[in-house]
Structure 1
Amino acid sequence: MNEDMIQHYRGILEGVGENPGREGLVDTPKRAAKAMQYLCQGYGQTVEQVVNGALFESDNDEMVIVRDIELYSMCEHHMLPFIGKAHVAYIPTGKVLGLSKVARIVDMFARRLQIQENMTKQIADAIMQVTNAAGVAVVIEAQHMCMMMRGCEKQNSVMTTSVMLGEFRDSYNTRQEFLQLIRGR
């Protein structure tokens, strides 16, 4: 456990006018530090570790989609959560990625201080790098607590970001098929 982080959380409690020695808060700095380490565990991971060799030969050259991958991240501007889902597609060129690895790549980038726009691109670039796909598409829809709990306090706003690479960028029909399939719930 990072003792410096625990002390910083104790200071935050004091800074907001709380007594970190009171019964309900005695262990809060330690719990908060442990939670933050968990929420930011993506910093300690690499794409290679996450994929762990789970790339398999395949004759399939049709679109593979994993949709509705729930994600939990932290806004790097306010350190408040944003929560949503990712839809990831790729067009294989001889190899397919183990199904759970797509979700694990999403988690690896979500478990860092982030902005949604960058995270969307990081996921797309990682899938492209690992699979050498003909194309990759990523759409993320998320609600940001920094907009809901403070500032403009818009409770129903959803941010949508997308990154289209290769065939998804070059072919209108391929892009439309992907968008139709993730909307056709």
Structure 2
Amino acid sequence: MVRAGPVGTHLPTSGLDIFGDLRKMNKRQLYYQVLNFAMIVSSALMIWKGLIVLTGSESPIVVVLSGSMEPAFHRGDLLFLTNFREDPIRAGEIVVFKVEGRDIPIVHRVIKVHEKESGDIKFLTKGDNNEVDDRGLYKEGQNWLEKKDVVGRARGFLPYVGMVTIIMNDYPKFKYALLAVMGAYVLLKRES
């Protein structure tokens, strides 16, 4: 709905009248909007899956969530990972690994490697900013990591780009406020 202003300008009565906008659309316009949204979502998924194939990592991009790797990486840095199985793991390399019982991957440096003649490799990690190795982080009774635990190896980073992710996780209300502002912006932009 539009009402006339004092000088003949048209002002929207509500910038958040989503359902009114949907009711005004004919079926073809509605299908077009749904298809556009589906294309955006599927394009993002295809890009993500493509990165997984190209990098060999189940998670080609991760955000550093703690200060345990300072000064190499800081909280909020965005890491780019690869995980080609044929590449051997070496001491000094920065790896991202998952430990059984923990949902969030850990970014730390390999400090010791044990390689058997059979080709099996076991290794120990430690955060650069930590006093002790990571044996306290591994599952109970586990003293070494294996290649199967590795999500990826750090190949590059963008400093502090991931702070948005950290802020949204630490302050969920901020996430919903940001989504509301973005939604309002899109709706107001459409009406103008």
TM-score, normalising length: structure 1: 0.26
More helix by percentage? 1
Q: Which has the higher contact order (CA 8 A, sep 6+)?
A: 2
Report which of the two structures shows the higher radius of gyration computed on alpha carbons.
2
